[in-house]
Structure 1
Amino acid sequence: MPVYSKYADHILLNLLKEDDQLAYTEIFERYSRVLINHAYKMLGQDEANDVVQEVFLTLWNKRNEITLTGSLSSYLYKAVKNRVLNHIAHEKVVSRYADSISSFIENDYVLADSNIREKELEAIIEKEIGLLPEKMREVFLLRKVEELSYDEIALQLNITDKTAKQQVYNSMKILRQKLKPFFGIFIW
């Protein structure tokens, strides 16, 4: 079996393009910590982890389309930087939106049916969580409901913490996609 840790980045990238999962794992092992530290300087720990997970998920999903003009490390750094900037821009939009909602509520425009809408949305969310694949749902509930750390989940389910993180990331992506149509209806 080849020792992937000894391979240069360009060799790993070529193997990745051939759907070699061990090459992907080596790239992840080689760069994830330093990329998280890079993102952490601009975001918090959870956001930095999420951003790096998104970059690596995109790397895997677009492995056959990637053409580098520079090094793999500079490509990954740039991808993380762009995700961080998008995240910060999104947070500013969310903050402005939250401020406008607060202003709306402070001006006594409380909606009578907000509790009903909240319960309907909770029921829809619970239904969609129930439709997740069994293992993904289990990891998601341990993280988001029982608030266990990724290490605790890994220990409890006998999986790696990276697998736990990936399962939570995948479940959040599925739920966001499934629930997106409801947010416009239930907000107001």
Structure 2
Amino acid sequence: MCDYTQCSDAELAALLRSGDDAAFKEIYQRYDKLLFLYAFSKLRNEEEAKDAVQDVFLWVLKNKHVLILKTTLSGYLYKSTLNRVFDIFRHRDIVKKYIEAGDYFIETDTEETDYLIREKDIALLIEQEIASMPPRMKEIYKLKRKQYLSTKQIAEQLDISENTVSNHLKKASKHLKTKLGVVIYVLHILNS
């Protein structure tokens, strides 16, 4: 029998994928308290932090046979915990304030990984805000920003006036600026 405390994270992940429950136990013991402290530092609520970490470990246990890591095990667990924290913040309806504070960026192995994590989270937030728009406004916004149609082309395609298209686009921009903040909105426009 091997000493799991001597195994690297990569070895533990491989053992876990093969169905080794002792490897899961070691991963849990290795990261449970650290992930709790991380979640608690974001949530400032002990019960929510415990729940977030338990949700992450429960998901890992249920999906251990298909668990493919594209980063380190610790990076994966921290990122999963951060995603669960975001779910809780969304539920609390205060994501905007949290992002503006800038406290949600996590330390990872490289700056590139950190950038990709932030970019993914911001992209998800933007998509959620676009999805929450009224149907006609959302349709017009997507035609403009995702299919790069002109105001005239959108008006012709939807059989409405150019003025109506312009009004919907102005309202959509105002909606996103309000929900996301000006900096994130400008980055979104520059990248779309």
TM-score by structure 2 length? Answer: 0.47
Larger radius of gyration: 2
